């Protein structure tokens, strides 16, 4: 029974790659963005060369952060138990605080999660912020325990946890990545 629980948990954590497949990338010739009912299409031409550059940047960042590039070719990212509860509470506290009603902010947080699930090298910023109160998310995260990333063999590895959350009158969990709701 315990094996069934672990197996379903591992299936929930989708395998990710730290690079863009250049064969698929060579087929991309536009980028489409949608916010609510507005759709914008950027006709970019072939994206293989820009994607090669992005892959190089990713390898450079993994090296700078002292993370195993080979293990990140395909891995399961770290996971925070109760992530939804934490960010919903943060969203509520931000939007209900005096001086922040009607304001919004884009919270970006990045941390290195060690193979034991502990947090280090946390960085956060409030971009596009129109509110006054900006809680230190890293203070909270340093106290949290993560399910560490794993390589293809299931061995825990150090990896990066990264989120961008819109703090606005809309819940970040029911809104699209830019804070609007589909169909508005």
Is residue 38 domain-shared with residue 25, that is, in the same domain?
Answer: yes
H-helix or E-strand containing 7? helix 2-12
Is residue 106 domain-shared with residue 46, that is, in the same domain?
Answer: no
In a domain, 3, yes or no: no
Is residue 34 domain-shared with residue 121, that is, in the same domain?
Answer: no
In a domain, 4, yes or no: no
- Quote the DSSP letter at residue 73: G
Tell me how many domains the chain contains. 2
Q: Distance between CA atoms of 95 and 100, rounded to whole angstroms?
A: 6
In a domain, 1, yes or no: no
In a domain, 7, yes or no: no
In a domain, 10, yes or no: no
Q: Sort 26 into a burial class: Cβ within 10 Å, 0-12 / 13-18 / 19+.
A: middle
Domain extent for 174:
77-184
Digitized pLDDT (tens) for each residue of the chain, 184 residues in all? 333 334 444 445 677 777 888 888 888 888 898 877 889 999 988 888 999 999 899 889 888 888 988 888 888 899 988 888 888 787 777 767 655 555 667 788 899 999 999 998 899 887 766 656 567 788 888 888 899 999 988 899 999 999 887 777 655 444 444 444 433 3
φ, ψ of residue 25 in degrees (nearest 5): -60, -30
Q: Sort 38 into a burial class: Cβ within 10 Å, 0-12 / 13-18 / 19+.
A: exposed
pTM here is 0.69
């Amino acid at each position: 029974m315990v094996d069934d629980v672990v197996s379903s948990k591992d299936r929930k954590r989708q395998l990710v790659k730290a690079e863009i497949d250049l064969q698929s990338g060579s087929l991309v010739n536009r980028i489409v963005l949608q916010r609510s009912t507005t759709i914008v299409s950027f006709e970019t031409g072939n994206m293989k060369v820009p994607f090669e550059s992005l892959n190089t940047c990713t390898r450079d960042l993994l090296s700078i952060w002292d993370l195993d590039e080979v293990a990140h070719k395909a891995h399961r990212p770290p996971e925070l138990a109760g992530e939804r509860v934490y960010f919903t509470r943060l969203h509520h506290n931000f939007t209900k605080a005096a001086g922040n009603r009607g304001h919004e902010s884009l919270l970006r947080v990045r941390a290195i999660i060690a193979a034991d699930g502990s947090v280090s090298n946390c960085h956060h910023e409030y971009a596009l912020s129109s509110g006054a109160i900006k809680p230190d998310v890293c203070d909270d995260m340093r106290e949290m325990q993560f399910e560490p990333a794993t390589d293809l063999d299931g061995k825990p590895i150090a990896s990066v946890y990264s989120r961008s959350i819109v703090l606005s009158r809309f819940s970040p969990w029911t809104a699209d990545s830019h804070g609007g709701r589909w169909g508005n």
